[in-house]
Amino acid sequence: MSSKQVDIWTDGACKGNPGWGGWGALLRQGPHEKSLYGGEPNTTNNRMELLAVIRSLEALKRQCQVVIHTDSQYVQKGMTEWLPNWKRRNWRTADKKPVKNADLWQRLDELVQQHDVSWRWVRGHAGDPGNERADQLANLGVEQARKAAAVADSI
């Protein structure tokens, strides 16, 4: 495994839940930074939180040590606590219901196998510069999705 460490801050945003959603991520390796964002209509905040991490890991070109900074306890606990049981129960919760967003959890599970990933929860909107930037990017994703839909509707 490469010793290259990449710090990633991720965030999701949703205007309505479900509603217009956006995801954003800031990737930092040494002095290098990359910003990513996107959005979707009729989605949920949890889906956007997951998609931010997925798109970040998909953007990595080689195996890395990755530290993911997220303000989503859903994502952090899902990956560090709940995932093994979901897999053991064939993507069912303890009360035998299907795991919500299983498609995204499965994709994220595939991606983390390619890297040495650790998870750091950060308090949202509490002054962490990486988290604040990821939040801005997620909101750009919402606006991008809205504008794309408006253009499509006008054609």
**In a 3-state reduction of DSSP, which class is residue 148?**
helix
16: left (phi over 0), alpha (psi -120 to 50) or beta: left
Catalytic pick among 24, 38, 49, 141: 49
Catalytic pick among 22, 24, 40, 135: 135
Task: Tokens 């049981």: give the residue.
Answer: 85
Catalytic pick among 11, 22, 115, 141: 11
Catalytic pick among 12, 21, 39, 78: 12
Residue 71: active-site member: yes
Residue 128: active-site member: no
Report whether 25 contacts 137 (CB < 8 A): yes
Residue 49: active-site member: yes
The closest alpha carbon to 115, from 75, 77, 69, 58, belongs to 58
> Residue 5's CB: how many other CB atoms inside 10 A?
14
Catalytic pick among 33, 58, 110, 125: 125
Catalytic pick among 39, 71, 78, 115: 71
Residue 135: active-site member: yes
Residue 143: active-site member: no
Residue 11: active-site member: yes
Q: Which residues are catalytic?
A: 11-12, 49, 71, 125, 135
